[in-house]
Structure 1
Amino acid sequence: MHQDLPARLIDPHTMARLTALTDIDPAVVLDDFTTPAARRTLASTQLIVSGWGCPPIDADTLAAAPRLRAVVHAAGSVKHHITPACWERGIQVASAAWANALPVAEYTVAAVLSTNKRLLRIREDYRTRRSPHDWQSTYEQAGNYRRTVGILGASLIGRRVLELLRPYDLDLLLHDPYVEPAEAARLGARSATLDELCAAADVVSVHAPELPETRHLIDGRRLALMRDDSTLINTARGSLVDQDALTAELLSGRLNAVIDVTVPEVLPPTSPLYDLPNLVLTPHIAGSLGGELHRMAAAAVDEVALWTAGRPFAHPVAKETISRTA
């Protein structure tokens, strides 16, 4: 992982657990598997605890790590470092993706509830007026009662969002090509096509993986289907939304958005998106931030405890499903 990550990721209690379970030198943090020092470490390594910034574990790395049997990722996606060579070796892989999904879902729920309340528009309106006003008349369509929320993708995050939204008086729609209507109903939602979801929802929230077939899944045509004054939330990946088409809709004032991911990841200073009153723009922080990192580390060490006891991982990553996950 990145050299500076362990100090932020692993709190003292979790590090004490890890050192009790394994023969580990906490000072050895590798962000390059090709150096002589890394090769010496890999020669005796049975388990890698990885995080953000882990280099690819490719055939060359595996050749230098003949005893390696497992990788526990103290973060979400393993696509950046788990290579086909790992599956060929039979490396067991676990991920703390479920732990990273929790704050993303919480961010999403906060966005759903606040945007349905028209928080952004009322804030700007109040800031401009600075005087008494009949807010009920102006915002008679605001509020969360019987609003429709569309969830795109029954991922770990999408499922958690559905779970957290269930207690509210909302109508929930779900689009996921791998989820049958009966399963959607068990998740508390009604199955819908993506076009139906976009046309019917007051809020559309994107939770699909980044794949070639999901690029611009929310394109100009589907944005046009969305209701006037409805909201798009994207905490997945910027490529899933046609950003130019979304920018045009936002500049017109017709739609609202809560966007945590963009293309490029950091927008140029001249981007109009920074200044729009109908947009909440955040720098990819919906996932684990600050103290929330400790949850991912604790989840990873839970997996290490299972592995050292000879038990299966609680949250394994399967070769068969990795192609359609984040």
Structure 2
Amino acid sequence: MPGSPDRPRVVVAVPPQLRAQFFTGAVWQELARAAELTVLDEHSDRAALAAALPGAQALILSWRAPKVDAELLAAADRLELVAHTGSAVAPYVTEEVFRRGIRVTQAGDEMARPVAEVALAFTLSLLHRIQRFDHALRGGAEWAAASEAPPRHEIHGSDIGVIGASRTGRAYIAMVQAMGARVSVTDPFLSETDARALGVESVPLDTLLSRSRIVAVHAPVTEETHRMIGAGQLALMPDGAGLVNTARSWLVDEDALLAELQSGRLDAAIDVFDAEPLPSDHPFRALSNVLLTPHQAAGSVECRQRLGASAVGEVLRLLAGQPPAHAVTVDALTRLH
């Protein structure tokens, strides 16, 4: 599929449903005016992608696309850019992409605010035990019984612990601080200067867990953060505290969390799970102290459109001879999901 000699070609490996969410009419038209487009409806089809890459200058991809490795690069004779519409690029590119000088970009910055908003909504629900009341009423409990819950608290004056001063973590910090929370952060890369600028106290993980009314997980997914919240860490949390996870299940020992939740000692609000889709018979589903959402924290209309616009913007910058706005280096491969 060689491109026109005077017109660059771009491969869009994004399935129809996501294309409708990612690309507004105006954004799609802007891309189509700038380049000849090869659109792959079956975006996870490795053979189809290999057939589309010869002559292509840029590749826009989305979740569950094939990983661009040496075999696919053998067909990508003119490729200069891989623009991911999501955040972590490790599942989609290999070191060989960087070795060949191909630019790699991601759109994760656009997810920070909506995920932080969901984490805030989770926080408020846990503080006010809304999930417990909802479960009780939907389950047919009598009014008096449904009204029973552990002590409830306002966010103003509450101690909130944040694990990871990531993009999303910082957006969440700003939101809960605006509502009067006291915020502690655990992040090995957060300097004291940055902590002061954020208006937070930087503390060890054990300290954060033992004194926080709500703990919100926003750490990156790396080998070092795998199951960083296990049985020992959960045991440090005060009775009645809540855990918010809109990051990845990778960070939390799900079995240990389930045991604490089944005891009723803690509450939790969870958007991410070891098994997705979450099995219909999973014990989480039966617990009144748990709020569940199906990995949709970044699923707002506005966020999806910004993801698409960000990827298209990177292609347009490439074609205009400009540097990328959201490039990542080979170090990004250490972020596993």
Runs of 5+ consecutive residues of structure 1 not aligned to the other structure: none
Which consecutive unaligned segments of at least 5 residues does structure 2 have? 1-12
Residue identity over aligned pairs, in percent, reads: 34
1:93 to partner: Cα distance: 1.1
Number of residue pairs the alignment of both structures matches: 322
SS at match of 1:143: coil
Contact 2:192 2:202 in 1 (8 A): yes
Asked if the contact 1:259–1:280 (Cα under 8 Å) also holds between the matched residues in 2, the reply is yes
Give the deviation of 1:166 after TM superposition: 2.5
Matches within 5 A, 1:237-316: 237-290=248-301, 292-316=303-327
| Structure 1 residues 39 and 273: alpha-carbon distance in aligned structure 2, compared to 1, 3 A threshold | closer
Aligned position for 1:19: 32
Q: Is the counterpart of residue 56 in structure 1 residue 72 in structure 2?
A: no
Task: Give the equivalent residue in structure 2 for 1:68.
Answer: 79
**Corresponding residue to 1:103 among 106, 114, 128:** 114
Distance change in 2, residues 1:180/1:258 (3 Å): same
Q: Residue 32 of structure 1 aligns with which residue?
A: 45
- State the Cα distance separating 1:235 from its structure 2 match: 1.3
Separation of aligned partners in 2, 1:276 and 1:132: 16
Q: Secondary structure at the match of 2:208?
A: helix
Q: How far has the Cα of 1:107 moved from its partner?
A: 0.5
Hey, what's the Cα distance between the residues in 2 that align with 1:235 and 1:306? 32
Quote the Cα distance in structure 2 between the aligned partners of 1:176 and 1:116.
24
Q: Distance in 2 between matches of 1:213 and 1:199?
A: 21
Q: CA deviation at 1:292?
A: 3.5
> Does 202-211 or 223-232 show the bigger shift?
202-211
Segment drifting more, 257-266 vs 26-35? 26-35
Contact 2:81–2:102 (Cα < 8 Å) also in 1: yes
Separation in 1, partners of 2:325, 2:41: 26
Q: 1:281 to 1:140 in 2, by over 3 A?
A: closer
In the alignment, which residue of structure 2 is the partner of 1:130? 143
- Between 1:110-119 and 1:217-226, the stretch displaced more is 110-119
Q: How large is the Cα RMSD of the aligned pairs?
A: 2.4
CA distance in 2, matches of 1:95, 1:149: 30
Aligned to 2:231: 220
1:80 corresponding residue in structure 2: 91
| TM-score for the superposition, normalised by structure 1 | 0.90
Q: Aligned equivalents of 1:133 and 1:233: distance in 2?
A: 23
CA distance in 1 between counterparts of 2:244 and 2:321 reads 42
Indicate the larger mover: 266-275 or 279-288. Answer: 266-275
**Structure 1 residues 322 and 176: alpha-carbon distance in aligned structure 2, compared to 1, 3 A threshold:** farther
- Cα distance in 1 for partners of 2:79, 2:315 equals 14
- Distance in structure 1 (CA, Å) of the matches to 2:223 and 2:151: 41
How far apart are residue 113 of structure 1 and its match? Answer: 2.1
State the partner residue of 1:9: 22
After superposing the two structures, state which structure 1 stretch, 139-148 or 124-133, moved more.
124-133
- Judge which range, 2-11 or 38-47, deviates more: 2-11
Distance 1:224 1:191 in 2: 21
Report deviation, 1:291. 5.6
* Shift, 1:26, TM fit: 4.3
Please give the alpha-carbon distance, in whole angstroms, between the structure 1 residues aligned to 2:255 and 2:222. Answer: 19
Contact preservation (8 Å) 1:173, 1:189:
yes
